[in-house]
Structure 1
Amino acid sequence: MPNPSEVKPPNSLTKPSTMNALIVTDIGKPVTLTKSRDIPTPGPSQVQIQVTVAGVNPHDQKCRDGGFLIADKLPAVLAMDVVGRVTTVADGVTKYSVGDRVVAQSSLEAGNPQNGLQQYAVVDVDLSARIPDSVSDDGAATLPSNIIAPLVALFSADTLGFPAPWTSAAAGFDFAGQTLLVIGGGTSCGKLGVQLAKLAGIGRIVVVGGDKALLASYGATHVVSRHGGEEKVLASIRDVVGDDLIYAYDAYNVAPNQHLALNALSNTKRGVLARLLTTGDPDADKIHSKAQGYEVRNVYGSSHMYRELAEAFWTRLPEYLADGRIKPLTSFEVFEPGLDADKVNYVLDRYRDGETVVKPHFHISVV
């Protein structure tokens, strides 16, 4: 009889051939339940998971109602923030074993085999992370889209261009001498952007909006109230940064309202704004004259679009979570087990109607 320590765990658990899923079949129509969707099989460098939590975001409403990302990929499954337990490991994969808890951001692949509103999904090994015991499934589900967006905003050459803190370029970069302005400190992407700035060692992290004590615990050095009118807010920012600000990140405003960050940028140095909401142009009539000009750069928070940067981050995420350098968010609303089309459509309708939505987490399976 073999020694138990020498017995390898199975690389697959027995499961049915089809599953339940919520799908978009027609753009502009509610999501519906299907009970006969094929279970996706992991390809090279992938694992299959039984989904425990699917996080739904505002862009999911744009997908359902406007065809964003899915117009030519119907029927489509929504939810790019995915947490689950590994059920099948592809040949050659050593990073995970069956039963491991995993968090991932899904791809934009046709058929959406990686998205969350289905009982099983596949995960790219290099763009996912094992969840430490200290972090809950819901905590992990607050991260994927909300942290990859500021990761790209801060550390991609396409946006603000700070060297990623694990790179050789970071060793000689004066992070302590830099200032970052974060607009939208109360948003999920704002809070996690502050944490990433702290992780990099940026010396002054000036945040507009959000809970002062919480943001300070994440690493903000200055928190400015967003109330009192634009001129007062701008003056408060300028009291901290003077005319030296060259890096700004807007995690909240639509294009017509992005002038606050632009007006805070230096007049004598060329500044850069990285913005999450990319449709349209800032209102030129509200932007102060800038002798050296400025740049507006769009942020596309996709692990698969920025694979090299994202792979390096996902590899390090378990360590960052375990030692507290990255803290999961604590604001989310749980929708209990099952794939309930009415509840998902209710949330998407609230996004559509501009109502306040606490990040929705749909518990798909209990494992």
Structure 2
Amino acid sequence: MSKAFGFTEYGGPQHQTFLDRPVPAPGPGRLQISVRAAGVNPVDWKIRRGLTGKGLELPAVLGVEAAGVVEAVGDGVTGFAVGDQVFGTAATGGYAEHTLLVAGSTARKPAGVSFAQAAALPVAAATGYDGVEHVGLKAGQTLLILGIAGGVGSVAAQIARERGIRVLGTASNANRPFVESLGATQIRYGDGVVDRILLAAPQGVDGILDLVGGADVRAAAETLADRSRLIATSDPGTAAELGGSFVRRSGTGATLAVLAELVADGRLDPHITATYPLARAAEALAEVESGHARGKLILEVS
């Protein structure tokens, strides 16, 4: 049997529990791995609450990204072998001792990248990368990231800066040192945010990557002339209403490989701010669910 952490009913954290399940067998297009690390993301609690739909067979294991060692390969999978160190999208939950990865959304882990760093890449980092790609700015232009201090925003800022794009980001004053460490200019969110954006960028911004939605993006959109350069990851309805669009996700192992090489070269830091053992999975998820987590949280599985 394999230990995992999941939920038995849709709803709040009171439905979370540890589970014992058989080691999942890889079907076509899947890789079975022994998990070494798993990422903790806002989407995890949204799935548990049923906000993304209620089609899972319960009990279900939490977590959508993991890194580990291949133990078995399903039919039709090429390019991977038993013993490979890999990371990717977890098809059967990442908060577990064993899981299945989707082969098409899996990449090999470079030797210079830890399992924890690799596990931080498939969701937040890849979303940040895809968001910068979708906004499509050039060197010298200005990108505003709404909610820059989280896992997606911190990677998006680094990717943009790597391309010579000037980055502004909304965050609390408490997060100002962190935002500046990313090479970005912190803009305090809340009342008067438009004035503060225009003080930093008098001609307005060339693109917005919106990670928060709602009133914040409605206000910030006033500083953007070309609304097609407004790309959202969390509030597609508001983005469309304002003339923007939801982020196009690549979802491929090729994107993950690019990110891993950037980490290996020291050009990208996934900013892992805390690691927890699997036994403390509930605590890690509670921190993310609070909305106050900075950077990336990781579960380490022995």
**TM-score, normalised with respect to structure 1:** 0.69
Equivalent residue for 1:149, pick from 127, 148, 152: 127
Q: Deviations over 1:287-331 (max 9, x none)?
A: xxxxxx951323376xxxx34xx3431232332222223222131
- The structure-2 alpha-carbon separation of the partners of 1:50 and 1:70, relative to structure 1 and needing over 3 Å to count, comes to farther
Question: What's 1:263 paired with?
Answer: 222
Partner Cα distance (1:23, 1:239) in 2 = 46
Match of 2:25 in 1: 41
Identity of aligned residues (%): 26
Find the counterpart in structure 1 of residue 15 from structure 2: 30
CA RMSD of aligned residues (A): 3.1
Q: Give the partner amino acid of 2:56.
A: K
**Structure 1 residue 274 displacement after superposition:** 1.7
Counterpart in the other structure of 1:118:
96
Q: 1:70 to 1:361 in 2, by over 3 A?
A: farther
Give the match's secondary structure for 2:46.
helix
- State the one-letter code of the partner of 1:62: K
Q: Offset of 1:147 from its aligned partner?
A: 1.3
Instruction: Indicate the SS of the match to 2:130.
Output: helix
Given the superposition, is the C-alpha separation of residues 123 and 260 from structure 1 closer, same or farther in structure 2, using an over 3 Å criterion? Answer: same
Q: Does 1:209 align with 2:171?
A: yes
Match of 2:281 in 1: 344
Matched, 1:20 2:12: no
Task: Tell me the equivalent position of 2:271.
Answer: 329
Measured at CA, do residues 79 and 120 of structure 1 come closer, stay the same or move farther in structure 2, by a change above 3 Å? same
C-alpha deviation, 1:92, in angstroms? 6.3
Contact 2:6 2:17 in 1 (8 A): yes
DSSP-derived class of the 2:244 partner: strand
Deviates more, 1:90-99 or 1:179-188: 90-99
Q: Does 1:298 align with 2:246?
A: yes
Instruction: Tell me what 1:287 maps to.
Output: none
Partner of 2:299: 362
Q: Is the contact made by 2:221 and 2:227 (CA closer than 8 Å) also made in structure 1?
A: no
Q: Does the residue aligned with 2:188 lie in a helix, a strand or coil?
A: coil
Structure whose residues are more often strand by fraction:
2
Which whole-Å CA distance do the structure 2 matches of 1:345 and 1:362 have between them?
10
In the alignment, structure 1 residue 69 sits paired with structure 2 residue 62: no
Letter in 1 for 2:117: G
Cα distance change of structure 1 residues 311 and 98 upon mapping to structure 2, 3 Å threshold = closer
Tell me how far apart the structure 1 counterparts of residues 94 and 62 of structure 2 sit (CA, whole Å). Answer: 7
CA distance in 1, matches of 2:40, 2:269: 20
Could you list the per-position Cα deviations for residues 173-220 of structure 1 after superposition, in whole angstroms to 9, with x for gaps in the alignment? x82243211122211111101122234x243222333756655554x3
Please report how far the alpha carbon of residue 151 of structure 1 lies from its aligned counterpart in structure 2 after TM superposition.
2.7
Tell me the amino acid that sits aligned with residue 120 of structure 1.
H
Q: Does 1:241 align with 2:182?
A: no
Gaps of 5+ in 2: none
Q: Structure 2: how far apart are the matches of 1:144 and 1:77?
A: 17
SS at match of 2:243: strand
Alignment counterpart, residue 274 of structure 1, candidates 231, 235, 252: 231
Q: Which amino acid aligns with 1:277?
A: S
Q: TM-score, normalised by structure 2?
A: 0.82
- Separation in structure 2 between the aligned mates of residue 254 and residue 92 of structure 1, nearest angstrom: 40
Distance in 1, matches of 2:287 and 2:236, equals: 21
Task: Give the counterpart letter for 1:255 in structure 2.
Answer: G
Aligned equivalents of 2:64 and 2:17: distance in 1?
18
Aligned partners of 2:243 and 2:29: how far apart in 1? 38
Q: Give the drift of 1:62.
A: 2.0
SS of the residue corresponding to residue 104 of structure 2 reads: helix
Equivalent-residue separation in structure 2 for 1:259 and 1:86 (angstroms): 45
* Structure 1: stretches of 5+ with no match in the other structure: 1-17, 107-111, 163-173, 283-292
Amino acid at match of 1:80: V
The answer as to whether partners of 1:276 and 1:300 remain within 8 angstroms in 2 is no
Return the alpha-carbon distance in structure 2 between the equivalents of residues 361 and 323 of structure 1.
Answer: 21
